[in-house]
Structure 1
Amino acid sequence: MKDQLKEAIIHTSETFGLDNYYLNRHHIFREKNNFHQTNYILNMEWIPNDADKTDEDHIPSGTTIIDMELHTKTLKRIVFTQGTSNAKEELYPSSDSESIIEWIEGITGYQYGHQFQISHQEEDAITFRAAVDNVGVIPSGKMEVELEGDMMTLFTIDGVFPSEDKIIWEPFSLTSDQVEPLAMDQCKITEVPLEEQEIWLPVYGIEKTIITNDGSRTIPVEAVEQAGVEVKLDTVLEWDEPIKEAFERAEIDLSPEVTVEQAIANEPHPDLLPITEEAQEKSTEEARRFLQREFPDESSQLKLTSLLRENGYLIANLEPVDSGNRIIERKIKLVMDDVNFNVLNYTDNNVVLEMFQFYESAEKPTISKDEAYKKLYEHIEVTPVYVYDPKIESYIMCGMIDCAYGVNAVSGEVILLKEM
């Protein structure tokens, strides 16, 4: 066993009081984060020494599953199965929130109130979110604790919890005069399917977006939360003749498991490699050839909207050239080999769209965007949030625009969107 792997396993046993356990098996998985960094996760299954070993398919009571970042030795997850544990009790918290917070601070190095806070609490579970002095952050982080009686049975941590040295401090200063024109731009009409009436209903709503603290620009939420490499495109795919060649789907390997050698070498995640101009050209040509075979009658009807890296593959996203306002539109996703750019497999959501083929088309709106915005204005929320700016590698103060309500574009009724 490699020295670094052995060291991580010994560290886990000592840190979590697993003297009465033995390591049954382990795996290493590779992940990427929002900062284009690669993490290697050591997954371990620890079995109590006194467990019944006759049934290899049965997970004994008290088995402990631990995920740890191999290189930094930071805990990602710990689970005690069936609500029992043979670990040293003094190393774990009781069920009260103060004890849990103290334990989290010790195990993560994060400070409560400065890097995380409680976002939801129940009798047998607590959820924490990343926050800097009670202000949320994007990309964000989340921690969950589950309890059974007086015992913690699960702890997980995911995402980002920035330290104060990554924050550009400034007071939240957005005014309504700055917010209003930008919020107005985000007021858009969307057709939503209503199952009971079997109709499409046009609804005005405010798209969630981020505004910089000086009010100079907006930032799409998905752009900040994108973890992999992506290139936006707008290329209409055209051809003259179909290709009479059968397409055979290949099996896709989505397993993130890697070898010990890859982990020790700390190889960069393949999803973080740049998408070169040559790769864009070859992917575009292969997407065109694929459509010529599978959708020969749809020349000029589909466009390539983006290329991104996902699970070691190159993904090409296709959408209709003439897309409408419906919340569900045609989408084709091509999975390509990132070396020779051959299409290996694909998904087409036409199956989902067929569910709505007999729905009545949306009625023509009777109220304008300006009228709808006036109705929504009092429901718009602007929340301070720190947003990561990759150019300066720090978090800057921004405002998050959101609105839980929409306006029926036919009747003018204000409606709660989650109840639709």
Structure 2
Amino acid sequence: MDSRIQTFVDQAKTTFGLGNYYLHHHSLWRNVNHFNETSYTLCLEWFPNGTESDEDGSNPEGTAIIEYNVNTGKLETAIFVMGETYAQDGITFNSGTEEVIKWIEQETGLTYNEQFQIHKQTENEIEFRSFIDNTPISPSGMIEVKWNDKRQLIFFSVHGDFPTGDTVKRESYTLSLEKAKHIAKKQVKRLEYPSFEQKKLFAVYAFEEIYIKNDDQSTKPFEMLQDGGTSKKVNHILQWEEPISKAFFEREEIDLQEEITPVEAFACTPSPTTRPITEEEEKSCVQAVERLLRQEYPEDSGKWRVTNLHRDKKYLIATLRTDQHETRVFERKLSILLDPNSIDVVNYIDNQFMLEMYHSFEESGDVTVTQEEAYEKLKGLFELKPFYVYDDEEKQYVLCGKLDCHHGVNAETGEVVLLNDLG
């Protein structure tokens, strides 16, 4: 075993009181954050003495899974499987919340009230979220700590972003709903909302949440950010004259496991996914994707648009969306995986199977409410809350207002409804 890994093994054994355990397995993996920085994690799996893997390969009850960030030496995860621990002189919290916070600060190097605060708390668990000046951030960071009735640690996890001063553009918050109303009106949009309980599609005017920048009132779309790795926006409609009828595409099994060596990890070698996507790679990807569609979707010329290319572990992933206006909550999407070296398609994922579940739903009725009328009904229910949001262009967290609304308007009846109640 590499001596640097052995140091972490010894540290884990002492810190968590693993005298009744043996090291069953260790592995290395890496992650790329939104700053395009690569971090390496060492995962140590400790089995209770006298136990082995279950018949299905799962870990035995009481297994301790300890993960460290190799770059910083800080603890990232400590999980005791099934909430059972056989640790001796391990981590216990006998003095309450303050003791938990001090232990987190010691293990993570983060500072309470400056970078994280309590989000919610129960008798045996505390969840923390990342904050800047008492303002939530996006993408956010989260810390979870759980303990058993003996107040022994059984779960700890820290993940996400906890920004420091040099990545934050601090400002005084000046936005208001009055200033944002010209934006809010455009965000009220008609959708077909599925009710799984009633097996019906409802025509609903709902609010598409959006961020408004504090400094110039420009907008940023609310996005569920994907994992780190280089991305490139593309805007290319796929059109062809002739399909490819004779060729047969054979999918390869998707393998996301990376073989990481200690040399790579302890040198903090940048992941290949941080490399820029060149113009030549973009062109080759679009050509490869078009060839696939000519084989697998021969009748769809002009229907699909390549919107994004993204590096993810072993693959380049092209995201395609239909070039047709969709009013349903879930839209049609293709994810096409390409070998980054040969730029050959190896597999693809079509979400059509998810959308087919709505085919048996009762269709929505006639729309009797206009967008203007829906806006008037909803405008008193809009919310605008300050958020620090990471801006890819500025490479900083910038102050924004998150404009949102939890209600919608039934486009058939005009009734104002809570969107969560439609499911």
1:132 to partner: Cα distance:
2.4
Partner residue of 1:357 out of 349, 356, 359 = 359
Distance in 2, matches of 1:191 and 1:12, equals 52
For the 8 Å contact 2:16–2:87, the answer to whether it is kept is no
- 1:100 is matched with 100
Amino acid at match of 1:69: N
Change (3 A) 1:24 1:381: same
Distance in 2, matches of 1:224 and 1:255, equals 22
Distance in 1, matches of 2:177 and 2:276, equals 40
Q: Deviations over 1:85-137 (max 9, x none)?
A: 32424x54237322211211221122222211111222222211111232111
Q: Deviations over 1:42-100 (max 9, x none)?
A: 0002345xx225x45485665421011112111110123452232424x5423732221
Q: Which runs of 5+ in 2 are unaligned?
A: none
SS in 1 for 2:223: helix
- 1:366 is matched with 368
1:215 to partner: Cα distance:
4.5
- 2:279 is matched with 277
For the 8 Å contact 1:379–1:403, the answer to whether it is kept is yes
Distance in 2, matches of 1:224 and 1:210, equals 14
Change (3 A) 1:66 1:385: same
- Is 1:159 matched with 2:157? no
Amino acid at match of 2:276: P
Amino acid at match of 1:213: N
SS in 2 for 1:373: helix
- 1:220 is matched with 221
Amino acid at match of 2:207: I
Change (3 A) 1:62 1:305: closer
1:396 to partner: Cα distance:
2.4
Amino acid at match of 2:50: D
Distance in 1, matches of 2:290 and 2:345, equals 11
Partner residue of 2:341 out of 339, 342, 355 = 339
Cα RMSD of the aligned pairs, angstroms, is 2.4
Amino acid at match of 2:290: R
Identity in percent: 38
1:157 to partner: Cα distance:
0.6
Distance in 2, matches of 1:385 and 1:87, equals 43
Q: Deviations over 1:187-221 (max 9, x none)?
A: 22211123455443221122122111135211123
Distance in 1, matches of 2:353 and 2:281, equals 30
- 1:266 is matched with 268
TM-score calculated relative to the size of structure 2: 0.90
Distance in 2, matches of 1:225 and 1:217, equals 23
Amino acid at match of 2:141: G
- 1:205 is matched with 206
Distance in 2, matches of 1:209 and 1:140, equals 16
1:388 to partner: Cα distance:
2.5
- 2:85 is matched with 84
The 5 A counterparts of 1:44-55 are 44-47=44-47, 51-52=49-50, 55=52
Q: Which runs of 5+ in 1 are unaligned?
A: none
Distance in 1, matches of 2:226 and 2:400, equals 15
For the 8 Å contact 2:138–2:390, the answer to whether it is kept is yes
Change (3 A) 1:377 1:6: same
Change (3 A) 1:56 1:333: closer
Partner residue of 2:248 out of 246, 257, 273 = 246
1:19 to partner: Cα distance:
5.3
Distance in 2, matches of 1:376 and 1:224, equals 28
Tell me the number of residue pairs that the alignment of Structure 1 and Structure 2 aligns. 416
The 5 A counterparts of 1:113-192 are 113-149=113-149, 150-192=151-193
1:225 to partner: Cα distance:
6.4
1:257 to partner: Cα distance:
4.8
For the 8 Å contact 1:95–1:147, the answer to whether it is kept is no
- 1:306 is matched with 308
Please identify, of 361-370 and 310-319, the stretch whose mean Cα deviation from structure 2 is larger: 361-370
Distance in 2, matches of 1:292 and 1:390, equals 34
Distance in 2, matches of 1:60 and 1:198, equals 41
Amino acid at match of 1:189: R
Distance in 1, matches of 2:259 and 2:208, equals 37
- 2:2 is matched with 2
For the 8 Å contact 1:137–1:385, the answer to whether it is kept is yes
Distance in 1, matches of 2:392 and 2:361, equals 44
Distance in 2, matches of 1:198 and 1:223, equals 27
